[in-house]
Amino acid sequence: MTERRKRFAIETLPGFTAIAIAAFVMLYLPIVTLVAYSFNGGSSVAVWGGFSLHWYEVASQNAAVQGAAARSFIIAASAAAIATTAATMAALGTTRRGKFTGQTFIYLMINQPLMVPEIVTAVALLIFFASIKVATGYSGLGYLILAHSAFCIPFAYLPIRARLEGMDGAMEIAAADLYANPWQVFRRVTLPLLMPGVAAGAMLAFVISLDDVVITEFVKSAGQDTLPTYMLGQLRRAVTPEVNAISTALLGMTVILLTAFFLLSKKRD
């Protein structure tokens, strides 16, 4: 009897389960409401007017939303590709080799976007890019892609590095023993083994880029709204279920990518 009482006490500290359940409800209730009301037939966000896909139709026919969605995807795909390539190289350069001078500096640089408040980076990029825009006359999507690539690097780097650290060097040594040149070793052995990490890194980078608000808001030029900055603009005035519909679509995208990410990282075991 005493034994059972103790076990119970170990597993659940008083009130912990209740608070935990409350926290989960608190986390999901607003999201569920948001998703539910995106299917609201009525035009109010508070009154239920029956199930309908009306607001998805409205959103998908809105030229501003179409443009913003397309831009979001272009930026996220480019930034994820650039950041993942750079991060893979950096991970190869900083993992599985002896400590070398400047390694700490490289770590610090790579993790810098995680440490500096986003608003400070945003302000810095606003000033910096504005002067480049004036000097070169170019005001295309390049600035946003560059900024996004930079802050996506740490997110791409972490899973790649984790994968690399868990990898056994024996295969590569064996390949080298069989007269494969370093490029062949990389292309035929290291990269395939590293692929789940690279894919996971790319997905995180894509999601992070897709969701960015602050830096995009400060860096964007004329007509360069992404879905999140378009929503931010809308939120300040009209709160129509159209915003719910866009949110739900973005949310779905994130959940799909995350699920894929988890399945990929599971493959590691």
Q: How far apart are CA 265 and CA 155, in angstroms?
A: 15
- For the chain, report the end-to-end CA distance as a whole number of angstroms: 40
Smallest gap from residue 166 Cβ to other proteins (A): 17
If the CB atoms of residues 146 and 180 are measured against other proteins, the closer one turns out to be: 146
Smallest gap from residue 152 Cβ to other proteins (A): 9
Smallest gap from residue 163 Cβ to other proteins (A): 16
Q: How far apart are CA 72 and CA 60, in angstroms?
A: 15
In Å, what is the CA distance from 224 to each residue of 67, 121, 169, 218? Answer: 9, 19, 46, 11
If the CB atoms of residues 175 and 231 are measured against other proteins, the closer one turns out to be: 231
Residue 230's contacts (CB-CB under 8 Å, 6 or more residues apart) are 64, 65, 68, 246
Smallest gap from residue 185 Cβ to other proteins (A): 14
If the CB atoms of residues 46 and 170 are measured against other proteins, the closer one turns out to be: 46
Tell which residue, 35, 72, 70, has the closest CA to residue 55: 35
- Radius of gyration for the chain, computed over Cα atoms and rounded to the nearest angstrom: 23
If the CB atoms of residues 93 and 192 are measured against other proteins, the closer one turns out to be: 93
Q: How far apart are CA 76 and CA 71, in angstroms?
A: 8
If the CB atoms of residues 34 and 193 are measured against other proteins, the closer one turns out to be: 34
Smallest gap from residue 182 Cβ to other proteins (A): 10
In three-state secondary structure terms, 40 is strand
Smallest gap from residue 228 Cβ to other proteins (A): 5
If the CB atoms of residues 53 and 116 are measured against other proteins, the closer one turns out to be: 116
